[in-house]
Amino acid sequence: MNFTDEALQKYKQDRFPRSARYDPAWVHQNEMGPNVLWLTEALTQVMEIKAGMRVLDLGCGTAMSSIFLAREFGAQVWATDLWISATDNLKRIRDAGLEDRVFPIHAEAHALPFAEEFFDAIVSLDSYHYFGTDVHYLESCLLKLLKPRCQIGIVSPASPERIPAPPPTCLGKGWYWMNTVDWWRDLWSRTPGLDLEHAELLPHGWDMWMQWHEFLEASGPRNRPGGVKEFDQLRADNARYLGFVRMVGNRCSNQPGEPTA
């Protein structure tokens, strides 16, 4: 693929210097939504990922975020997804030369095939809103896979303010599932076993989303049929309702004899 200077300017964001080094053709070809490398880099700005950590990347899609975490931070990553097969992801992981550090898993988020307290960190990028809205989900399905005093972090679409019903005409009805940043903060704040460390509207999230569409627009035919409509809606929204939540929590210690919060 050949990219115009205009497209490359949109792709290379000063805020995301690590992502800027990745081949835009690779990201374009494997994208499933807003540039997941930017979302992953934004999460790692507030969450610690270190060499040798065992990381669960839940809802990893085409595993670009898993490859990024392994390459940039030296983590071992279990790239876990439902819609994309493990075989498909293994090809991408092999091509990236990371077969020894990124392990593709096909699984549903409510039936994860991992031992309790196996992971040093859990991340979920542009995915958690598909399976994590049930008030019991984090406590009953996910938190137990994390070692005590370790972090879980997500970046997912969320709105700064509640989308009214009926929604504004320019947004259409397709965003009915979107919760506010306050809604997400409240959900994790009252989850037993979790200390919420960080919950905010991702700074410049709407701009980032727009810039991704501007890059795609300047790069020829799109992979995702719904992309053009999403771009129009983002433009019309002008950052009122469309953005991202960035949230990090820490699994409380459950060691016998340790004081609880």
Ligand X SMILES: C[S@@+](CC[C@H](N)C(=O)[O-])C[C@H]1O[C@@H](n2cnc3c(N)ncnc32)[C@H](O)[C@@H]1O
Nearest to 216 by CA among 69, 17, 16, 32: 32
What is the amino acid identity at position 124?
A: S
Site residues for ligand X, window 118-137 (CB under 6 A)? 125-127, 130-131
Pairwise CA distance, residues 66 & 57, whole Å: 6
C-alpha atoms less than 13 angstroms from C-alpha of 73 in its C-beta half-sphere: 25
Indicate which single residue of 75, 77, 84, 248 sits in contact with ligand X (rule: CB under 6 A): 84
Nearest to 226 by CA among 245, 210, 213: 213
CB of 90 to ligand X, least distance (A): 15
> Which of 131, 183 has the CB closer to ligand X?
131
Indicate which single residue of 8, 20, 46, 82 sits in contact with ligand X (rule: CB under 6 A): 82
**Structure token digits, residue 42:** 């934004």
> Which of 136, 169 has the CB closer to ligand X?
136
Residue with tokens 């969320």: 158
Judged by CB under 6 A, does residue 43 bind ligand X? Answer: no
Judged by CB under 6 A, does residue 32 bind ligand X? Answer: yes
CB of 253 to ligand X, least distance (A): 28
Pairwise CA distance, residues 223 & 203, whole Å: 27
Window of 32-40, 113-121, 138-146, 194-202 that interacts with ligand X by CB under 6 A: 32-40
Pairwise CA distance, residues 37 & 18, whole Å: 9
Window of 15-23, 79-87, 162-170, 208-216 that interacts with ligand X by CB under 6 A: 79-87
Closest-CB residue for ligand X?
A: 61
- Say how far residue 100 (Cα) sits from the centre of its chain: 23
> Which of 126, 230 has the CB closer to ligand X?
126
Judged by CB under 6 A, does residue 138 bind ligand X? Answer: no
Judged by CB under 6 A, does residue 109 bind ligand X? Answer: yes
For the chain, counts of helices (H) and of strands (E): 11, 7
User: Residues in the site for ligand X, rule: CB under 6 A?
Assistant: 32-33, 36, 59-61, 65, 81-84, 108-109, 125-127, 130-131
